[in-house]
Chain A
């Protein structure tokens, strides 16, 4: 089943086109990361999909409806993780989650009881010790976890996260990734997230879309994207204290030969292009004016 279908989406502010003919398809159960430099239109895209912003032109279908006109029944099926600031400062996480959860009670079904049981939710995001503290007193990371809890309190079928881990420490990040995996696996939640963290995009998502200049310039798994940019791997080694680098599409035969031929080889290292390399290359290509838009990358068996 298709969760999101976008065709030729344009967004214009004044005389500036922020989105220029986006096509997006997301299947149910997928975890998709939207990457892109600042100002590429990530947040605008997410807000259009959330129904918080009306596009200039284009066809948008999210869970079968147009978010701009979809009703509250649709709203109950969609979760949004917002960047909180100072709202509900006097409330406790428990009171806020109970309050917001109550809106979802009429939308409970046997297959998907709503809201998410609050105690379980508090444990899930690791806020058990802070559940009765004032939200004002929470740390930045704790607030973000509360934001995530608020986003999933209605047990959404589709969850949007805009830069969910900005400001997380490594431990909080790891916990958050576990949470996303759990949501995806257990609740079959479709997840669309934006991030600046390439490592995170690679870990979390089954598919990555790179948005640059208001267009999708790449769409595929991290691996497929890397292969598209360069099929070469970099082999580095040292020989008698001297460093060598060789670039080759077939690293394994090269290394085998290298080792048989030369017993002096030390510090051997084989490096495939990382997602970061890929990302930077894609964005650089776009900025150099090379049209890479519309290319669909084949999934490569890995």
Chain B
């Protein structure tokens, strides 16, 4: 038990730092990221540019801050898509367990799982044009079956419990029971899953924008910064190291937070660990 809060605290602090940097970037960045000052290209870290500049003379710290905003926004909306579409599907499947509807929803889920997600994300962004919006849709689609499965699994065990039986005896319909009794009680499961999908979304966004299918210039994103740095890696390795570190820290933070949350919210795990 002593370990759990530590992991959670480290994770939550890391995530909070990036969130704060992303929010701050809406109001203020040290320099304008759309302003290319070629005279100041490839500056080492110093007073004017805390982390130095890239080959176009853009301030790296400002780029990283706006990049955090791009990553978080894409991953957050993609998780939102997964929850708003996946959870109702999962609840409906659980409420009508064994019916044709349940079967169709679960088989549809299996089908999406069978696709290598990145391949389809690449396909969608390639056919409909690369943009942050299409990256969100591509990542979001694969969150739907994940949340549907988690919601269904959690809901199925709740449907067997006495208080649900009581609600049914009291004459409540399946829809009302799902909304009033099932949904609030699978909240914990969904929060933990959302943290995991959020971190996977950050990684997926980085991968898509790295191969040029995510956020488009001039909007900075971590994956794009890595792609731009690739040709400079021999002479200026820091250009490639910094954005990568940002991705790793953000994802690590979210994963630690997710693990910590799961341990704190699931009493069964707490007992088995003690």
Partners in one complex: no
